[in-house]
Structure 1
């Protein structure tokens, strides 16, 4: 119970502090389009980087980004630099469109590049995970990742692109699912890697913040406050709260 209370308190506090909320991918089910609070193409692009619309070689206008340089997006609300649209047909998950922002647009318009990337070939995503699809009303507006709260959700468990389970959940049932999934995520190697990187980044931030160059113009009171903030590394509760709202462990498949 303490775990849930700490996570909830941290979640609702961090939502007020951090930015920016992300533009979701889309999914079409029974001819109706929904927001999708997962990004199934991210793993696909990790395994097939040649098809990435920005960092791959397919689109010549983005050649300068092939060395890994970060694209300066029109909006920080889309850190992926694309919006994908998926469908569920005959219980199979498929991608049917990929849009990116038009570099020549002054209105942040999106244009489809699916044909340029894939032509007429059928894409096998080989995705396994739990899709989160909000179907109810928005309760809490967030400015961090996909940490929005809705009255109703549809969850779909996918195994290698095949739907093996789906269920409608209310808000309370969804939060129970999230806690269960997060507990399992903490047991994974991915969590250990993220934790190691988080602490490494914290140490680097501490070194920078407490550097002579940074504190030379501070008052004694300001320096004392800053040193107090970095006196101890983040607690497990703090880190778990941050990961709970920032990570999307859709690959952790649990019952719901």
Structure 2
């Protein structure tokens, strides 16, 4: 599929840092189905209400959040059904057993079904076969997708896509996103990080006359490479910034 080749040429320009590993998903329970979500609705809440460190998993490359959350809809509203930390214990054979332990009451108290009325965005639920595995965030490509638009915790609408339709949707949304102030702020942060890494790790040329590193040339090339990588990085993690099924036109 041509679009997959274009997509991965784009993706692998990314500077691989802590997100350069496939991530454990949160999940959405709908009737008898439990769907993986390529978005994390609790992250915005935890920025203002951090989980005490003792209640979360030691952050790993495959679970940078340190928890796994399960959601459901209750009267059309998105709520937290449960939240777990991962625990690894050695069994009698000397191997590690993987266990999930609920931390719901430690985080949200005794009231069940914590309402996500702070959250507005897309729940992106992939399904079917993996057409292409990408070991970075939620970048793997699946056969189909179900997108659900949430506004202040309320489920407004949903739409299904095949793989190619979803990738086109992301490309078109990215064109809009690049015009926003949010993109400019995030891109600036990414560029500074990437440029710093390139400057610290890459010496581009030396002056043969005096044997000194050309710091000016090194900085210019680092800036040039950072500019080229920012768009790739932002596109790879666009799921975090897509808010609506209908792409805004303003």
TM-score range normalised by the length of the shorter chain: 0.7 to 0.9
Residues 172-215 of structure 1, C-alpha deviations (whole Å, 9 max, x = no match): 2111211122222212222111211122223322442257xxx9
- Note if 1:230 corresponds to 2:240: no
- Work out the CA distance in 2 between the residues paired with 1:203 and 1:228: 8
Alignment of 1:105-120 (within 5 A): 106-120=96-110
TM-score scaled by structure 2?
0.76
Does the Cα contact within 8 Å between 1:181 and 1:252 map onto a contact in 2?
no
Cα 1:160/1:22, change in 2 over 3 Å: same
Does the Cα contact within 8 Å between 1:29 and 1:89 map onto a contact in 2?
no
RMSD, aligned CA: 3.5
Q: 1:101 aligns with which of 86, 96, 99?
A: 86
Which runs of 5 or more structure 1 residues have no equivalent in the other structure?
55-60, 66-70
- The equivalent residue for 1:35 is 36
The structure where strand makes up a greater share of residues is 2
Residues 74-111 of structure 1, C-alpha deviations (whole Å, 9 max, x = no match): x3100000000001233221111111122766434221
Does the Cα contact within 8 Å between 2:148 and 2:157 map onto a contact in 1?
yes
TM-score scaled by structure 1?
0.75
Which runs of 5 or more structure 2 residues have no equivalent in the other structure?
91-95
Does the Cα contact within 8 Å between 2:174 and 2:238 map onto a contact in 1?
no
- Work out the CA distance in 2 between the residues paired with 1:191 and 1:5: 25
Runs of 4+ in 1 over 6 A off after TM superposition: 15-18
Aligned residues: 228
Does the Cα contact within 8 Å between 2:70 and 2:82 map onto a contact in 1?
yes
